[in-house]
């Protein structure tokens, strides 16, 4: 991996935001973490953290309640993101942001706070993404159970309430409907099917170019 990108105090005043998105199982959190190592002066913004705070604080007893809680946590996340953008700091924002649900609001924030944006979309073969997502939910003990349960309260939940996994056809339909290829700012698409051949340099170059444009 390349050495961390050199920066000065002025780096913290550059209005740059990098959206890392992609379907479930594409490795967004890991990829964003790699970018954070390369660009340590960027603020890391992850919607899942806000969502998990809401899961633990309020809990839910059905998928309908879970969906309503997701709406409330998303609204809170937008407010948190706006607070950071108001400071003018460079940001990496990671979540399965999609054209269907998030693009309009994120564009609004980018334009209002005069940010330059880069959207990095991770994609890969459906079967591989499905399997990775399934293995993550099974093996990642640190992951909040609210992500994959139909009923959850912080001190009262059962793994027997697991949400039924989608079939291959359902997963493909879900991904196509959501459309993770958002049209915000500059755009980079990175194939993550093979973990050993992910082109991180492609993302580095795009961020560095955006960074230089903001000098």
* pLDDT, tens only, 138-157: 666 678 999 999 999 999 99
- CB-CB contact of 26 with 124 (8 Å): yes
Q: What is the pLDDT of residues 176-202, one digit of tens each?
A: 999 999 999 999 999 999 999 999 999
pLDDT, position 8 = 47
pLDDT, position 10 = 42
Q: How many domains is the chain partitioned into structurally?
A: 1
pLDDT, position 12 = 53
Within a domain: 162 = yes
pLDDT at 73 over 60: yes
Within a domain: 1 = no
Within a domain: 209 = yes
Alpha carbon 22 to chain centroid, angstroms: 8
pLDDT at 27 over 70: yes
Q: Tell me the two tokens of residue 178.
A: 């959501």
CATH number for position 142: 3.40.50.300
Within a domain: 24 = yes
Within a domain: 3 = no
**Weakest-pLDDT range from 79-93, 137-151, 163-177:** 137-151
pTM of the model: 0.89
Domain limits at 163?
A: 9-213
Within a domain: 181 = yes
Average of per-residue pLDDT across 110-115: 96
Q: Tell me the two tokens of residue 58.
A: 């309020």
Within a domain: 51 = yes
pLDDT, position 212 = 82
Within a domain: 96 = yes
């Amino acid at each position: 991996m390349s050495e961390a990108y050199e920066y000065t105090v002025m780096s913290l005043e550059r209005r740059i935001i990098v959206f890392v998105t992609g379907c479930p199982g594409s490795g967004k959190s890991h990829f964003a973490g790699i970018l954070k190592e390369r660009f340590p002066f960027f603020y890391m913004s992850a919607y899942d953290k806000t969502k998990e705070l809401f899961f633990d604080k309020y809990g839910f007893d059905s998928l309908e309640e879970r969906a309503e809680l997701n709406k409330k946590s998303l609204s809170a996340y937008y407010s948190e993101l706006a607070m950071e953008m108001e400071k003018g700091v460079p940001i990496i924002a990671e979540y399965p942001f999609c054209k269907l649900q998030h693009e309009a609001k994120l564009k609004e924030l980018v334009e209002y706070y005069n940010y330059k944006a880069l959207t990095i979309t991770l994609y890969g073969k459906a079967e591989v993404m499905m399997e990775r997502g399934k293995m993550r939910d099974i093996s990642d003990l640190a992951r909040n159970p609210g992500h994959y349960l139909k009923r959850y309260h912080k001190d009262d939940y059962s793994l027997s309430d697991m949400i039924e996994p989608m079939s291959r056809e359902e997963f493909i339909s879900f991904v196509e409907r959501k459309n993770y290829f958002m049209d915000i700012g500059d755009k980079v698409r990175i194939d993550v099917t093979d973990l050993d051949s992910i082109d991180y340099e492609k993302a580095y170059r795009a961020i560095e170019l955006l960074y230089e444009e903001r000098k």
